[in-house]
Amino acid sequence: EAQVTQNPRYLITVTGKKLTVTCSQNMNHEYMSWYRQDPGLGLRQIYYSMNVEATDKGDVPEGYKVSRKEKRNFPLILESPSPNQTSLYFCASSSHTVPETQYFGPGTRLLVL
Amino acid sequence: QKEVEQDPGPLSVPEGAIVSLNCTYSNSAFQYFMWYRQYSRKGPELLMYTYSSGNKEDGRFTAQVDKSSKYISLFIRDSQPSDSATYLCAMSDRGSTLGRLYFGRGTQLTVWP
């Protein structure tokens, strides 16, 4: 089944404890992206990757790191999480073939205490 | 001021009504205009996209872009309870629907039977 998977789906952690949220897609997509969604603020892009080894900042990259060493994986790293990074995180992927539809993962709900 | 403004609603209409959802933007470099639909507890899905100005129709959905007014709309005809969701507009200043994306806050729509 074609899908974008995220792990973990739910995470409670404490301030300052490094964490990684994994994202993997099995559709051979070139493009991948991370978003966070917060009530009243909508969806905001964190980082995106047009292809392997090509990453760029989105709207809210501060406090996050990403890497794209292989096509299928695009992990999101929080080196020192803070409470303001409590949010719902979505990973998405797309091919560069028109209509370039992004497929979103199921989301990761993160709580930083 | 956000680059993309969208009234969060909520909007509540009876089944069969015509729904109008709107976004305004400030960046005249935006070229691609997208509408995403997000059901509760799910990731967004691309509904429609339009390049530059004009209209695009897909079944009961019509997307309009007025670049002179920096205003985009999504119309839903004969609305159904299954249309109940949050609708997000998004825009891109690249030559595609991918890359750096700017989202509105989303409008929550409820269609009651």
A50 touches chain B (CB under 8 A): yes
Determine which of B40, B92, B101 to mutate to test the interface with A (most A C-beta atoms within 10 Å).
B101
Question: For position A53, what pLDDT does the model report?
Answer: 87
Mean pLDDT calculated for residue range A91-99: 87
Question: For position B73, what pLDDT does the model report?
Answer: 96
8-state DSSP, B87: E
Say whether pLDDT at B98 is over 80.
yes
User: Could you tell me the two tokens for B12?
Assistant: 């509540």
Using a 10 angstrom Cβ sphere, with 0-12 exposed, 13-18 middle and 19 or more buried, the burial of residue B111 is: buried
Say whether pLDDT at B8 is over 90.
no
B46 touches chain A (CB under 8 A): yes
Question: For position A97, what pLDDT does the model report?
Answer: 80
Cβ neighbors of B15 (< 8 A, separation 6 or more) are B79, B80, B81, B111, B112, B113
Ramachandran class of A63: left when φ > 0, alpha when ψ lies in -120 to 50, beta otherwise? left
pLDDT band at A96; cut points 50, 70, 90: confident
A30-57 pLDDT per residue, tens: 999 999 999 888 899 999 999 998 999 9
Q: What is the mean pLDDT of chain A?
A: 94
B20 touches chain A (CB under 8 A): no
pLDDT band at A3; cut points 50, 70, 90: very high
**With contacts defined as CB-CB under 8 Å, which chain A residues touch B106?**
42-43
Q: Give CA–CA dist A79/A86, Å, rounded.
A: 14
Contact B105 A40 (CB under 8 A): yes
Q: Give CA–CA dist A9/A108, Å, rounded.
A: 4
B61 touches chain A (CB under 8 A): no
Mean pLDDT calculated for residue range A75-80: 97
Say whether pLDDT at B1 is over 70.
no
